[in-house]
Amino acid sequence: MRFLITGGAGFLGSVLANELLRQGHQVRVLDDLSAGDPERLDRRVLFTRGDVCDIPRLWTLLQGVDCVYHLAARVSVSESILYPRDYNQINVGGTVSVMEAMRDAGIKRVIFSSSGALYGEQEQQPIREDAVPHPTSPYAASKVAAEYYVSTIGALWGIETVSLRIFNVYGPGQQLPPAHAPVIPQFIKQALSGGSLVIFGDGTQTRDFVYLDDVIAALVAAATARSVNRQVINVGSGRETSINELVREIATVGGHELHTLYNRQESGGVSRLVADISLAREKLGWSPRIGLREGLHRIVEEDARLGVGGRRTAVSIPG
């Protein structure tokens, strides 16, 4: 098949692009490099630097494409609170632009990368896809809006749509921005370097951490799965892990005692978040294969190979 991946030079998109190429498909990537790196991509991937809102460029890249993966988005919860207009422009406006260009080019399937963060606080756990979203940030709100646009435009113009609500994905190569870094790579970096961790809240808040390779397998399966049109599907591990438990697991895997500091004046985000992945098993024939400890081992081995250093750093827990 011939694929276009928007945001395909990022943490998730680059691994997806390389895997699709390995399986014998043709892959095109569009990325503005605000967070991506084309060096991650196999040289056989056709890379184009550009804006996801640039419809003429999208028209060119969509010629002959069978399926689109729309991954391009801004993804920082905390940043979205400061810059909601930018998140609306890129995450919502960019999605509408992709759908409009697909309509014009006659593309028949899109897989949209959504987020488990849109659920917000939910009484019922694990969370099913029919739960009413309660977004707690502009980032999460942008994903809700983008899902509706994908489904609505798809229904109007005969485009098959699948939205995958991806929970807290982690794996080797995850970027560490200077502020509000993803929790797992930051914790591991500090564990290997002997630094201190600042945890917002009391650490009892839970999340669903799903390994990168498992997410890639779900994305690949969604491209050819049958009877998934208009479906919204959770992609998570189905396992609930508290932040305190995560710290203990990383300490065990890394072989280093972790010094933790609790900032109870700051919110730790929603109290619980874990995916019901029954629909993914049914519709995609997919189940996660990599448990948390094995996934952490893989990252620790990679970071140890590369060498890391650290200092006391506060981390953010998406959702």
What gap in Å lies between CA 216 and CA 198, rounded to an integer? 31
For residue 275 the two structure tokens come to 């995916």
Tally Cβ neighbours within 10 Å of residue 185. 21
Pull the structure tokens for residue 265.
């004046």
Bridge partner residues of 170 (DSSP): 211
Are the CB atoms for 169 and 233 separated by under 8 Å?
A: no
CA angle 290, 296, 302 (to 5 degrees): 110
CA Rg, the chain, in Å? 19
Strands laid side by side in the 181-182 sheet = 181-182, 313-316, 196-200, 259-263
In this structure, is the dihedral angle defined by the CA atoms of residues 260, 264, 265 and 266, taken in order, positive or negative? Answer: positive
Q: How far apart are CA 23 and CA 109, in angstroms?
A: 19
H/E stretch holding 14 reads helix 11-22
Q: Is residue 139 among the annotated active site residues?
A: yes
23, exposed or middle or buried, with CB in 10 Å at 0-12, 13-18, 19+?
exposed
CA distances from 264 to 190, 203, 204 (A): 20, 9, 11
Q: Kindly report the CA angle at 207 between 203 and 211, in degrees rounded to 5?
A: 125
Annotated catalytic residue: which of 69, 87, 119, 139?
Answer: 139
> How far does the chain reach from its first CA to its final CA, in angstroms?
35
Q: Of 143, 167, 174, 164, which Cα lies nearest the Cα of 37?
A: 174
Catalytic residues: 139
